[in-house]
Copies of this chain bind each other. A is one copy, B any other.
Amino acid sequence: MIKANPNYFKLPVVYLFQQVAKTVKEYKDTHPNADVISLGIGDVTQPIPMASIEAMHKATDEMAKAETLRGYGPEQGYEFLRKAIIENDYKAKGIDIALDEIFISDGSKCDVGNIQEIFDVTAKVAIPDPVYPVYRDTNIMAGRELTFLPCKESDNFSPSLPQTDCDLIYLCSPNNPTGSVMTKEDLKKWVKYAKEKNAIIIFDSAYKEYIRTPGIPQSIYEIEGAKEVAIELRSFSKTAGFTGVRCAYMVIPHALKALDPNGKDIELNPLWARRHTTKFNGVAYIVQRGAEAIYTEAGKKQVKATIDYYMENARLIRTGLKECGFEAFGGIDAPYIWMKAPNGVTSVKLFEALLTQAEIISTPGSGFGTYGEGYVRLTSFGTRENTIRAIERIGKIKL
């Protein structure tokens, strides 16, 4: 009989968010009148920018006529969108990225999951702990060995350098789940490490628009030499509320190299292009027009207003928790707040207390890794009203 991929059996049995969903469902089923507020999974509540809505209507109409119909687009994404990204997200910030270094996709989750495919299965992977589980699970599925990089409160949750040599390193700033950010000095340290070890960094900056503190890098390419060692991932999900619209992009600079089977160093960009064109057929034209519209003057204003709204939620959660006597991190340059459980209280216990005593959904930190134990993640993506009501309830929980 055909064998299943044996690596899948090394995965943790239940995907964290599914487990949380199950517990919540059970609570709701047994408490039909409960007024549960979700500060759990990082989904948005505010509408997508009107500029995107208008662009998507227009694009939909184009699909209704033979003269303007768009069939298969370029797998890498339409030039109009790649140009808008380069102009606004890079050139405007003094970073020079070429058109063929950008790859449009239907989400960062896919990019995170797929990028590991172009590397050898023997590549040693370093992953922060706590971490967005997709970095971990997709490498386990591929059969790779993992090293975890503790992110401790004493280091502002910035990952420590690995004790053993690593080939592929995942970094995320602003961070999911801790809400922390990596400073220029933090990133310099990593770029230097990657150069010394001939390693590659996968830099996930899906939350870059939430950075408020001057000097915190939005892009790893703000660090000199980073193009030789880093792939950057960005998403429209949290920038423009595209969680249900699905659009993201990845930057693979030509300067990025790896060894071919003959030990010769080759560019990774064409290797990824090959993967992308073979297993993917481009993002919907309508969606790409919606994403392009984010970069218009109107679109930029609308995006800023929505992010300001969420960041005010973040401030309310952060200050509210402190007023209730809880320690909390993040929420200054990130939409996530990392709430610390009082001594001896586990993540799951705090999650359960929040659910059953305050009817608030959080995400247990332990699901994100060993060093997430003792924390829960709260998100600022709720409505203002619910965020305020949630904070009022938190003061009442007993642990």
Please name the residue on chain B nearest to A194 by beta carbon: B2
The number of chain A residues with a CB under 8 A from chain B is 84
Report A98-138 CB contacts with B as 1/0, cut-off 8 Å: 00000000110110011001111111000000000110011
Cβ A243 vs Cβ B72 within 8 A: yes
Q: Given that A1-B259, A69-B241, A244-B73 are known contacts, is A53 also in contact with B64, CB under 8 Å in the complex?
A: yes
Cβ B113 vs Cβ A3 within 8 A: no
Distance in angstroms between the alpha carbons of A217 and B72 in the assembled complex:
28
Distance in angstroms between the alpha carbons of A318 and B96 in the assembled complex:
52
A298 CB to nearest chain B CB (Å): 14
Partner of A117 from the list B5, B15, B109, B198 (CB cut-off 8 Å) is: B5
Report A129-160 CB contacts with B as 1/0, cut-off 8 Å: 00001100110010000000000000000000
Report A345-389 CB contacts with B as 1/0, cut-off 8 Å: 000000000000000000000000000000000000001000000
Cβ B265 vs Cβ A1 within 8 A: yes
Integer count of this chain's copies in the complex? 2
Stretch of A22-30, A276-284, A321-329, A391-399 at the chain-chain interface: A276-284
Stretch of A37-45, A176-184, A185-193 at the chain-chain interface: A37-45
Report A30-69 CB contacts with B as 1/0, cut-off 8 Å: 0000000000010111111010010011001101111001
Cβ B134 vs Cβ A278 within 8 A: yes
- Complex interface: chain B residues within 8 A of A245 (CB): 63, 284-286
Stretch of A85-93, A266-274, A331-339 at the chain-chain interface: A266-274
Q: Given that A47-B64, A64-B48 are known contacts, is A110 also in contact with B281, CB under 8 Å in the complex?
A: yes
A227 CB to nearest chain B CB (Å): 16
- Complex interface: chain B residues within 8 A of A114 (CB): 279
Question: A5, A241, A275 — which one has the most chain B CB atoms within 10 A of its CB?
Answer: A5
Cβ A277 vs Cβ B15 within 8 A: yes
A95 CB–B CB distance under 8 Å: no
A343 CB–B CB distance under 8 Å: no
- Complex interface: chain B residues within 8 A of A123 (CB): 2-3
Some 21 contacts from A to B, beta carbons below 8 A apart, are A3-B259, A5-B120, A6-B120, A6-B260, A8-B274, A11-B274, A15-B278, A43-B72, A44-B71, A46-B66, A47-B63, A66-B383, A71-B243, A106-B284, A109-B280, A133-B278, A138-B279, A245-B284, A284-B287, A286-B286, A286-B287
Interface positions of A (Cβ within 8 A of B): 1-6, 8-9, 11, 15, 18, 41, 43-48, 50, 53, 56-57, 60-61, 63-66, 69-73, 106-107, 109-110, 113-114, 117-123, 133-134, 137-138, 141, 167-168, 198-200, 241, 243-246, 257-261, 265-266, 268, 271, 274-275, 277-287, 383
> Besides A4-B271, A5-B117, A53-B64, 18 other CB < 8 A contacts?
A1-B257, A2-B200, A4-B268, A5-B118, A8-B274, A15-B278, A45-B66, A47-B66, A53-B60, A53-B63, A69-B244, A71-B243, A72-B243, A109-B281, A113-B278, A246-B281, A246-B282, A286-B286
The 6 closest A-B pairs by CB, nearest first: A113-B279, A1-B198, A3-B120, A43-B71, A2-B167, A71-B243
